[in-house]
Chain A
Amino acid sequence: MYMFRRCDMSRKKSFYRYLSVLLFGILTQATSCEEDYPEQSYIMSEDNVPEEPYLTTISTAYFQTNIVGHGWKWKESWRIDEKGVSVRYDVSNLADYIPNDLYFGADSMTVFMYKETSNERRTDSYIYDATNNRILSQAIDYMQLTDADSSCISFIERHGDRYYKSNYERMLPYELNARWNGSKPEKP
């Protein structure tokens, strides 16, 4: 009898442990920017630029309300090959590029770059073109906003001669302060 009870208790414990792990998993999944975009195919333009197949206009008003004034930390990327097929970018293999974090001000944007010797930031003016969700700036090579909400944004961006689809998560104010304080303006 005692043995059976112990067994039941142990089962209960493992059930609650399983439940808590499950709940934690659901909660973290619901609040993270990850896994929102499965690997997919992109349409390649005549200039060999990948185009988001399900592009929806994000208005300037929405951009200014939800994106401007916040810092955005890199979460994950997919590398888009010449045929337009995306493959998840392995963060541990930083041979291609080291991911950046971003800040959008009213008229200027800042790219926080993590280099081997120091953390640097590049700030330049930008224009948001809502006709094709493009961000035009000297601070970056190519950037097209493909999706956004109040906590996550996604871009197709170019680093060197390769294109990536990247997700960014909105920073908390202290995280943004840490980026400002922990980086120096890029040397020309």
Chain B
Amino acid sequence: MSVYHTWGQKTEPFVKGGLTIGLFDGIAASNEDVGHIGFNIGAGVRLPVSKSRTTFLEPALELISKGNVYDVSKSGGRVSFSLWYLETQLDFVYRWQIGKHWTIPIGTGLYGAYGISSKVSATNGVTWFRGIPVGESTSMFDSAIGANRWDAGWRVWTVGVEYRQFMFRWDFELGFFSQFHNRMPYGLEEGKKYHGKNWATSLNVGYCF
């Protein structure tokens, strides 16, 4: 299925889905980070911006889960922050043809996201984590934690390989904003403040119509 946009180029809708590993503020922030394993599913359109059909804009809408899991040895358990976002993405992608049916896409872009669901939970016996009450499974958007519903950031890369209609992609996103209004998942460590910005990397499989 293909449609033609106003300057006569063929546009191709696609669907995609896969695994997402989330962190807050990066691996280097704490040795307690385990990473949150979640999922993503979405759809978009491949919009050529050159007549040579090598550069494309790829707007997409995605349901994606991010967050982080911490292994808190002193507490004897794990703390999990899980957020679901409705995310709009806009990637600028260069597609390098390496064979008759094979293409390598390399791109970068921006995203904006709205949090539709969130949960913080912990294994039995862990009641506090860096000042955040985690004893009962609760929404992160409530007043005690005050997570931001809105997020935006840089889609640092989207790379992969495409065979015929199939897409295999590896994406990496960096959030611009702290996800925590009131408390942060990291405290003061050696005088540094950590902000709990979303980091996420995804492995996706897609199909282009």
Contact = CB atoms under 8 A, between A and B. Distances in A.
A56 B130 contact: yes
Contacts of A40: 188
Interface residues of A, number: 19
A88 B169 CA distance: 54
A62 B131 contact: no
Contacts of A57: 72, 74-75, 77, 125-129
* Interface residue SS majority, chain B: loop
Contacts of B187: 53-54
A176 interface: no
A52 B132 CA distance: 11
A38 B191 contact: yes
Interface string B183-209: 100011011000000000000000000
Given A56-B74, A62-B73, A62-B74, A132 B131 contact: no
Contact of A56 (B125, B129, B135, B188): B129
B76 interface: yes
Given A54-B187, A57-B72, A59-B76, A130 B125 contact: yes
A55 interface: yes
B127 A54 contact: no
A61 B127 CA distance: 15
A56 B191 contact: no
A117 interface: no
Contacts of A130: 125, 127
A148 interface: yes
Given A56-B74, A61-B76, A131 B131 contact: no
Contacts of A148: 74
A83 to B, nearest CB: 18
Given A53-B131, A130-B125, A58 B188 contact: no
A175 to B, nearest CB: 25
Contacts of A62: 73-76
Contacts, number: 53
A32 to B, nearest CB: 14
B60 to A, nearest CB: 38
B188 A38 contact: yes
Contact of A58 (B75, B131, B190, B191): B75
Interface string A49-69: 000111111110110000000
In this complex, the member of A40, A54, A62, A130 whose beta carbon has the largest number of chain B beta carbons within 10 angstroms is A54
Contact of A132 (B73, B125, B128): B128
A36 to B, nearest CB: 8
Interface string B59-95: 0000000000000111111000000000000000000
Contacts of B127: 57, 130-132
19 contacts: A38-B188, A53-B131, A53-B183, A56-B74, A56-B130, A56-B131, A57-B72, A57-B75, A57-B125, A57-B126, A57-B128, A58-B74, A59-B126, A61-B76, A62-B73, A62-B74, A62-B76, A133-B128, A148-B74
Interface of B: 72-77, 125-131, 135, 183, 187-188, 190-191
Given A59-B76, A62-B73, 9 more contacts: A55-B131, A56-B75, A56-B130, A57-B72, A57-B125, A58-B75, A59-B125, A132-B127, A133-B128
